[in-house]
Chain A
Amino acid sequence: MKQLLFCLFTISQLSIMAQTTISGKVTDDKGIPISGANVYLDGTYDGTATTENGEFLFTTKERGQQTLIVSFISYETFSKTTFVENFKNINIKLRDDVNTLDAVIVNAGSFKAGENEKVTALKPLDIVTTAGAMGDFIGALQTLPGTSNVAEDGRLFVRGGDAEETQIFVDGMRVFTPYSPTANNIPTRGRLSPFLFKGITFSTGGYSAEYGQALSSVLLLSSIDNPEEDKTNIALMTVGLGIGNTQKWKKNSLSVNASYINLQPYQELFPDNNIWHKSIQSLGGEIVYRHKVNTDGLLKLYGAFSTVNFDVTQEDINTPEGFRFGLRNRNLYFNASYKDYLPNNWSVQTGVSFANDYSDIVIRTDNVKDTENSAHLKLKFSKYFNSRFKLNFGSEYFITNFNEDYSASENKDYNFTFNNNILASFVETNIFFSKKLAANIGLRTEYSNLLKEFSVSPRASIAYKSGNNSQISLAYGTFYQNPKNEYLKFNTDFSAENTSHLIANYQYVKNKQIFRAEAYYKDYNDLVKYNTEQPLPTTIFSNNGSGFAKGIDFFWRDNKAFKNIEYWVSYSYLDTKRDYKNYPIKATPSFASQHNTSVVIKHWIDKLKSQIGLSYNYASGRNYTDPNKSGFLNSKAKNYNALNANWAYLISQQKIIYFSVSNVLGTQNVNGYQFRNQPNTNGVFESRTIKPAADRFFFVGFFWTISDNKKDNQLDNL
């Protein structure tokens, strides 16, 4: 018995005597001591915090192999496993955590909106509460620098590129016909409803190798992964009705939206300068189904259907009775995407999108029936090696089948058809050299079946943090895009149009204030040229066109200086010339304006339970050709000015009244001029001014949300 006790005593003594001292010093990668870092042996109570000199010292009774852990906020956690005796006077360097807000961001060319972004130029609510945007997310993006205001068109014109040089993607899958069709001189709207998206990246140049077939810009939308609750939305508007419902159960959710727009009552009340035989009517529906396959895997199915109908006679100087244009359009879009995490830090993303677009157009007495079937298939893998090195690669296939039946009044029928299929592959790495220096380097290859042509596009961007709040970035890339459908239907002996982007960006971000300046140079080559006024079956086409665009964009956003006020200011300077289409010389195209400015202000008034918004847009005059003078694109129209206002009033948490007026001051803007084909007896070409259909547009809506969450409302849908 005594022996046993003695034994036990000795063992306990031994264990006390066998204390090991653990000591060392913790610094950052520049050797500067880190004080207050947490140092301990994993799975034990033994540990301490480092002193002001970064030193630590503690004892442990543990023996054998142990793991020493050093952790400190905004640094990567250090761990080392070895025999406990070896943890003596060791020097530990903690590496910066590159996932913090103050780490450098590779962002040349792009603007992001979404709460998960490090720097947000636009917030989710901005997409829909910007005055003048009228709930169209494209409208909100037009307040960012790099875009040109083309009031009669409504699409995105980016940095001297025309609207077809911008492509839109939802969850990585292309949207083939993103805009509703419309008549001449009436701006279009995006077909996608803004509240389906949780994040938007708008790249005005130098974008990732993952995206192609866009010479100027890509707009990347990511849809909501998982709605939070069941709800019903009802909208009563001066221009139509809308209803939406979301249901959630276990691993699934389903959202259904339907809208009916009819502009007839509005147009009767406020007639515009067109003669409407049939006012614009559109009927649209969307369904989103989401299914969680396992803890990480998510399947999303999105389907949208819309029809648009109208018939209008518009003023035309060459036809005294006016120009009649009627359209019936039907559009079906389907998008399925799946993403999941795989073992060993791999992840996979795959998807398919499909669009069927059918238009039946009456132009005077001619009838055109266009059918476009397009599909996009994509498979992408990503490997996350560590927080400093990531690799993405994948392949995609685009299919477009276009068919046009043209019946001219003289009983002549024509048929034009083509298949435009493209196979593309891409690889890209994201590397953080340190918290201050990072780069994305990628390569994209494309093969076009139609053009029998292979292209290689390198892409690279690099960013360096030059100060605590500032950084500079550079980007370079080459971009290819097949010619437009309106050319391909007559001729397929083309090369892809292409451009290169060189971008330099400076950004300063401090406490809810953002300043950025970005200079760019774009060099266009192999642009399509033709020798007739409009592309025709008999036209001779070539790829001999070229051009350039250069400029500088400024952006300032401040959410801090004034209480309850947020505002931003954008200014863009653009210098561009091109020789393309049927241009006789290099000239600045009619969609480009040299100076563009937007100011957006939002003010929340507690007492009135209201948000008041104002926006002001300015664009310097755009070119047109005056046949009474010599030369081509030889004159400038007057400057464009518009002040827009909106007011959202919360009747209760779930009921909102929304008023909006575009161009409050009724400024007489000019969209361009139309000249007679023949001069009059004095040898002068008479002209008429092309004005917007109406100077002002009023909108009143009542929005009601029914859900368990009494705070939910449609402020974010407006």
Chain B
Amino acid sequence: MKKILLLLTLVFAASVSAQTDYEKGMTKAFELWKNQKNTEAIQLFERIATAEKDNWLPPFYAATVQIISAFREKDETVLTAKLNKAKEYLDTANAISKNNPEIMITYALLNTAYIAFDGQKYGMTLSGKNVAIYNKALAIAPNNPRVVLSKAEWDMGGAKFFGQPIEPFCKDVKKAIELFKEEKQTTKFYPYNGLERAEKILENCETKSSQN
């Protein structure tokens, strides 16, 4: 009995320490990201990705950080280099987890980075692609708050560009907030974030509506 217990303990300890590597790594990477050390964060996510070949989260985050950092980019050479790298990470994540709405909307975010840089050059083809992505993601996961929110943000961006009211999309943001609050957070490191952003957007929506 003792032997079994000991054995069990050892096995458990071993598995705990293996998981710790992942948790330690991810925690550290998030910390780097939070402290604006984007390159280091991306590199750590990349390293974790090669160690955790069946987990879509590390390459997903490597891509996400890369894309977000590309939004401020003014040099097209650097922009495309970053976004090409981000696409590689996303492709890796996508190969592990197919038809994952979180990955799909990140592809759309990647396209948006190009469109934000030069709408004339990239808008014509990529905006059509984004609409297709959002529609597909919404069909797969109609109650995913991030899908609902990012589609609403996209629609608002379009309305603003054409000088049309954004109010019709405020109800989508409200719906996203409800979904965020209902969401059960069960998987560690899953990208549950977005509630704060949604609330900020809604605030903006409401002030605009009350002005009118």
Contacts and interface: CB of A to CB of B under 8 A. Distances in A.
B131 interface: yes
Interface centre among A40, A97, A566, A711 (most CB of B within 10 A): A711
Interface string A560-573: 00000010000000
B135 A708 contact: yes
Interface string B149-185: 0000001001101111000000000000000000000
A483 B159 CA distance: 56
B118 interface: yes
Nearest to B129: A228
A97 B122 CA distance: 23
Interface stretch (B72-80, B99-107, B193-201): B72-80
Interface string A208-234: 000000000000000000011100000
B81 A124 contact: no
B121 A45 contact: no
Given A511-B76, A712-B128, 5 more contacts: A123-B120, A124-B125, A229-B128, A566-B120, A653-B164
A609 B158 CA distance: 13
Interface in A492-507: none
Interface stretch (A67-75, A412-420, A588-596): A67-75
Interface string A704-715: 000011111000
Interface of A: 1, 5, 8, 36, 38, 40, 42-45, 47, 49, 69, 71, 73-74, 97, 99-102, 115, 120, 123-125, 198, 227-229, 511-512, 559, 566, 606-607, 609, 650, 652-653, 708-712, 716
A716 B25 CA distance: 48
Contacts of A124: 121, 124-125
Contact of B118 (A512, A606, A652): A512
Nearest to B42: A38
B124 A42 contact: no
Main secondary structure of the interface of B (DSSP, over half): helix
Contact of B162 (A44, A100, A653): A653
A125 B128 contact: no
Contact of A101 (B3, B6, B77, B85): B77
What 7 A-B pairs come out closest when comparing CB atoms?
A: A228-B128, A709-B131, A101-B77, A38-B43, A711-B158, A74-B81, A102-B77
Nearest to B14: A12
A413 B74 CA distance: 70
B84 interface: yes
A711 B129 CA distance: 12
B47 interface: yes
B1 to A, nearest CB: 12
Contacts of A512: 76, 118
B132 interface: yes
Nearest to A710: B158
Interface stretch (B48-56, B140-148, B202-210): B48-56
B127 interface: yes
Given A101-B80, A228-B131, A711-B162, A38 B25 contact: no
Given A49-B40, A653-B164, A44 B158 contact: no
22 contacts: A45-B48, A45-B51, A69-B50, A71-B46, A73-B81, A101-B77, A101-B81, A102-B77, A123-B121, A124-B121, A228-B128, A228-B132, A229-B132, A512-B118, A652-B162, A652-B164, A653-B164, A708-B131, A709-B127, A709-B132, A710-B155, A711-B127
Given A101-B80, A709-B131, A711-B158, A40 B121 contact: no
B47 A45 contact: yes
A653 B77 CA distance: 32
A487 to B, nearest CB: 43
Contacts of B121: 115, 120, 123-124
B128 to A, nearest CB: 4
Given A47-B47, A101-B77, A609 B131 contact: no
B10 interface: yes
B126 interface: yes
B156 to A, nearest CB: 11
A709 B163 CA distance: 17
Most buried by A among B47, B82, B159, B163: B47
Given A115-B124, A511-B76, A652-B164, A38 B131 contact: no
B39 interface: yes
B31 interface: no
Contacts of A49: 39-40, 43
A207 B46 CA distance: 42
Contacts of A74: 81
B12 to A, nearest CB: 14
A559 B120 contact: yes
A462 B34 CA distance: 47
B131 A43 contact: no
B50 A73 contact: no
A47 B49 CA distance: 12
A444 B194 CA distance: 58
Contacts of B46: 38, 40, 71
Contact of B77 (A45, A100, A559): A100
Contacts of B50: 40, 42-44, 69
Contacts of A559: 118, 120
A43 B58 CA distance: 13
A44 B51 contact: yes
Contacts of A123: 120-121, 124
A559 B121 CA distance: 11
B76 A101 contact: yes
Contact of A43 (B3, B51, B155): B51
Contacts of B51: 43-45
Given A73-B81, A100-B81, A609-B162, A198 B125 contact: yes
A185 to B, nearest CB: 36
A650 B159 CA distance: 12
A97 B40 CA distance: 21
Nearest to A49: B43
Nearest to B3: A1
Contact of B122 (A71, A115, A653, A710): A115
A8 B128 contact: no
Nearest to B128: A228
Nearest to A248: B132
A42 B131 CA distance: 37
A716 to B, nearest CB: 6
A688 to B, nearest CB: 45
A28 B104 CA distance: 35
A711 B77 contact: no
Nearest to B161: A711
Contacts of A5: 6
A372 B163 CA distance: 52
Contacts of B163: 606-607, 609
